[in-house]
Amino acid sequence: MDKVLNHIRNLRAEAESLLKNGNRHDGDDEAHCGVEKSIDCSNCGGDRWVLKLRQKAGFWRSKPLVVLSLFDGIGGVWAALENLGIPFIGYSCEVNADAMKVTQRNYCSVRHLGDIHRLKKADIKEKIDLVVGGFPCQDLSSMGARLGLHGSRSRLFFEMLRVIKTFSPTWFLAENVASMSWVDREEISKHLSTTPLEIDSQNFSPCKRRRLYWSNIPYPKTCPRIGDNEATSIQSVVQGGASLAKKNMCVLSSNGLQGATKALMELVYDFRIDKPRYINVVEVEQMMGYPPHYTNVKFDDQKPKAKIQRRRETEIKEGGVDRNTRWRLLGNSFSVPVISFLLSPLLDADIRDQTRKYHLPASVREADCSVMSPGEIWAMYNIHQRPNWYVQIVSRSGERFDLNVNERGKKGSRLPLRIECRFLELTKPYEAGQLDLWSTIRGCGLYTVSEGIEVQGSWVAFSHQVTSLLKVDHGLIFIYPAKGEVWSVYDSGTESRYLVYVLESSVNTKKAKLRVPGKEGFSARCRLLQKKIELDLYRIIDKELVYTDLGVFSFRAPYHFHGEGDVLKIELSVKDRERGAQIDGLKRKRLSRHFESDDEDFLDMDIGDEFGAMPIAIGNITSEPLANGESKSESILTVVTKRDEERLVQPKEDAIRGHLEPLKLKPAPRRSSRSTAGLRSTPYTP
């Protein structure tokens, strides 16, 4: 243990020697007003990579950044900017008085503007360079009611959207939990016109914290390999003892309390009392990237409302400061090293000089913003779990679209989801050579919109919105791969598929109207994707490929970035989304009685044995005639496990829910209507 402590002391001494600015005194109650000074990175653990970035970038020669921090909390963004040595003029929107007091003590130059609802253009005279905000996650987290982005608290995202629209900053950075549903992730990405990056803070610090980040700042291409470094272990923040684990679970606002049995903080054997204890609040501050005693503030109301028993930890004498409040504020804050990582590209003067355009909705009113709107084209999973069935949305109602229910925040009173749509069918020239006209190999070409209206009642059937399309004459729609998308390419020689990332593509609109396959003037330059050891993770490699044949592109695969800008987490089938929903349900059932936290991702578990297998959807279509001669079909979906797989091969002997007809899974020729119910449980690989 002495060797470990000596090693940590050496690391701290080395970091202190690299810092050109003065350090902050631990426990100093005076306000720290010098925005150009740096946090003592030696107390944050594993921040030598930040110092190297600062040395490489040299002195900051630009003017200070004008930064607006929404839902500011205890000022994590200011700590990150200070960590990077980036001077700033700060504005804060926050309504929690305790959090504001912490920020005012540590960064007295930051101007507080209060409630985001009241923020208007005239409140800030300067041109805003950067807007940062981690909007409330209670309706998105699996620990909450899962009301979604339009829930009563998480709907503040639309206020953030309004602020970005109002102030038109050069850059923005938004943050929220990684466990949100794919539908909410899709909607946020749609409104911010960017793909998120998923990061777990344990790669930078001693504690776990999975988050999604949306930004128009270029994502760093490489992540510092410090996750296994002793400087990012719990031991690096423990004083007078030995940590009994290397990493801590996610820091929550409630996991320092007795009774929170599912959110254990790791044990420390304290040499001073010669017995084990749990990590204390000062050590948590350092795990989150703050200096010791950062939240050591005397709050206005220190009278306990109820008797709360804390887990055993070393008593910390800090003038009677409420540790429960400190713990709650830390549990709802940013991980400072992660924010430093995401903002680090701004150290590069060339990046600061570039203008990265972003597109926001024409109207940012919540009532006008939706993940799915009438007229849009969406991809659905076919019976082989390939998302190359396409539909045009006619109408949608219920669930997240029922804003009146969302305002009351009652999930049980919501109307069921109902999405009316029309399927797209390949035109005759483009379906030539396809063995199965119901589930074609190709996912690009010229499509016609069918007349019949069908109804879907579940999100599980949908994959993503199709945005790379051309609307040509006579209502025809031409779908093709576009820049920034991931597509599965089919090789007829080996009868296999591989994935590519599209760098750029082009189509001749006039030639596309001619309906001649191979003569569309199509060209795409792509990068090959290489699968990593981790599940569903792929790296963009340097190998470039050029395609002129549209027919080899089979389907587009939804993805988001993971850890760094060249690694993608790709969803290849519906099974992952449905499995995630069942995990979330299990978490809520087990943990809801223990916490009132905003977080949930501390629980790492494998429920494969508990659920038996990946879920599959089964069902049937019933049709009814409409007054105008068209037909409407109902798609009924049921989730079962692999234990019920025999019911699919013997549907007549084991009727499903009694009122459903037997399901036919074999390939079929073109039909007037399709059922999303044919999704198989067999994992599909590209």
3-state secondary structure of 215: strand
- Residue partners of 356: CB distance under 8 A and separation at least 6: 171, 216, 217, 218
Q: Do the Cβ atoms of 372 and 356 come closer than 8 Å?
A: no
- 57's enclosing H/E stretch is helix 48-57
Contact indicator for 225, 219 with CB cutoff of 8 Å: no
Which is nearest to 333 in space by CA: 171, 209, 161, 204? 209
Q: 486 forms bridges with which residues in the sheet?
A: 501
∠ CA 576-577-581 to the nearest 5 degrees?
115
Distance of alpha carbon 366 from the chain centroid:
20
What is the secondary structure of 509-542 as a DSSP string?
A: HHHHTTT-TT-S--EEEEEEEEE-SSTTEEEEEE
Strand 267-270 relative to strand 631-640, pairing: unpaired
DSSP codes, 572-590: -SSHHHHHHHHHHHHHHHH
Helix axes 182-192, 157-167, angle to 10 degrees: 10
For residue 353, give the H/E element and its range. Answer: helix 349-353
DSSP 207: B
The amino acid occupying position 663 is L
3-state secondary structure of 566: strand
With contact defined as beta carbons under 8 Å apart, do 484 and 524 qualify?
no
Residue 65 CA to residue 172 CA, distance in Å, equals: 12
Tell me, letter by letter, the H, E, C secondary structure of 112-173.
Answer: ECCCHHHCCHHHCCCCCCEEEECCCCCCCCCCCCCCCCCCCCHHHHHHHHHHHHHHCCCEEE
With beta carbons less than 8 A apart as the criterion, state whether 142 and 587 touch: yes
What is d(CA 675, CA 662) in angstroms, rounded to the nearest whole number? 13
Active site residue 137: yes
The separation between CA 216 and the C-alpha centre of its own chain, rounded to angstroms, equals 15
Distance, CA of 388 to CA of 425 (rounded, Å): 11
The sign of the CA dihedral 577, 579, 581, 587 is negative
* Marked catalytic residue, from 137, 250, 444, 526: 137
Residue with tokens 């499995």: 579
CA distance 137 to 412: 19
Measured CA angle at 412 (ends 409, 414), to 5 deg: 75
**Under a CB-based contact definition with an 8 Å cutoff, are residues 469 and 481 in contact?**
no
In the three-class reduction of DSSP (H, G, I as helix; E, B as strand; rest coil), residue 591 is classed as helix
Burial class (CB in 10 A: 0-12, 13-18, 19+), 685: exposed
Please state, as a whole number, how many other Cβ atoms lie within 10 Å of the Cβ of residue 397.
12
Distance CA 573, CA 555 (A): 11
Q: What element of type H or E holds 188?
A: helix 182-192
C-alpha span between 101 and 547 (Å, rounded): 58
Catalytic residues: 137
